Structure 1
């Protein structure tokens, strides 16, 4: 890829990671042929789920976003006292993802430190830059708004993970670049991770591979989903 900012670093949402490494699979997988079969299946499922999501009307997407904001607000209140004093990583919505920006602003006003994940270096863990409603956003790769390079870097206590698909074992079908799993593997302690997606995107399985890390919670417009403890 040649799209870089003037610092020489990649500045884009992890949601576009599949366009950085569309054939990503973990070379440490037990069976490379099986890993490639799974990678092909996942590419097909991503395309199907993306088309279904983008076919929703503006009002349908808005209703999903409103419902998810309510469920997330309740979850943060119940588990983290509203996340006051915590570092909370959200995301900037693209490609029909649920829009949680109203809740981001609400959390900031309540005393939560909000940040956004950024791809600064190809095939490396994400970094997190602080966001506020007054942040002067800049255009990163693929024209996605991101906080500027001078924004404070943070390490999240709680992080959201936008989902293309998900299964009842808590595994996430992402965008295919492997950035989110690399990031969770690199962070110590690992942040509490909440998957955000559509109820209709549930899959029987994502065929988890050795690099896949299960999420702590999955939220859809229908509420918190039951995650099996058998992984």
Structure 2
């Protein structure tokens, strides 16, 4: 394991602890108020995600974006080393626990190619670097899709700097309870 990888492992541990302490039920409503600032065009497909218990929850933001005319698609882990697959949720269907305990769509549901991605994270810095969970799924997905990536985070998840490796894909913006910041 390289020094950067060892450092990232320790950073992930600390970031999980910090995020757990920041978890706030009012967050979803706070970021939903900033939906218009994202300037996502009507008809665009938004690659969303279902939040883990202490993750920054985009549920109300997604509802607001759909009300503004966007379409939501959710990620499915197709396998280790592969990019994420995105699917639309048919009416009346719900996401179910899949890989890594993450709520996912079924693979038979309609596939979609997002125009923008909402990205979960453990930490971010002022240059748009993000610290993910270490599986590289969003990095691989962003490398292929080449679409804007908007991190969804508590403001307190910001750190002064993060190490970056060649495969790490930067965020284009971060949305916190305080608003949108572009990089």
1:61 to 13, 18, 24: 24
1:8-40 Cα distance to aligned partner (Å, 9 max, x none): xxxxxxxxxxxxxxx7xxxxxxxxxxxx11111
For structure 2, list consecutive stretches of 5 or more residues without a partner in the other structure: none
Whichever structure has more helix as a proportion of its residues is: 1
Superposed CA RMSD: 1.9
**Aligned partners of 2:28 and 2:67: how far apart in 1?**
19
**Aligned partners of 2:65 and 2:49: how far apart in 1?**
14
Q: 1:132 to 1:107 in 2, by over 3 A?
A: farther
Q: Map 1:146-185; keep pairs closer than 5 Å.
A: 146-185=104-143
Counterpart for residue 43 of structure 1: 9
**Aligned partners of 1:202 and 1:55: how far apart in 2?**
14
Q: 1:224 to 1:104 in 2, by over 3 A?
A: closer
Counterpart for residue 37 of structure 2: 75
Q: Which segments of structure 1 move beyond 3 Å, counting only runs of 4 or more?
A: none
Q: 1:143 to 1:214 in 2, by over 3 A?
A: closer
TM-score, scaled to structure 1: 0.72
Specify which structure has the bigger relative contact order, considering alpha-carbon pairs within 8 angstroms and separated by 6 or more residues: 1
Q: Map 1:136-155; keep pairs closer than 5 Å.
A: 136-155=94-113
1:186 to 144, 155, 159: 144
Whichever structure has more strand as a proportion of its residues is: 2
For structure 1, list consecutive stretches of 5 or more residues without a partner in the other structure: 1-22, 24-35
**Aligned partners of 1:167 and 1:212: how far apart in 2?**
13
Task: Give 1:138 deviation, angstroms.
Answer: 2.6
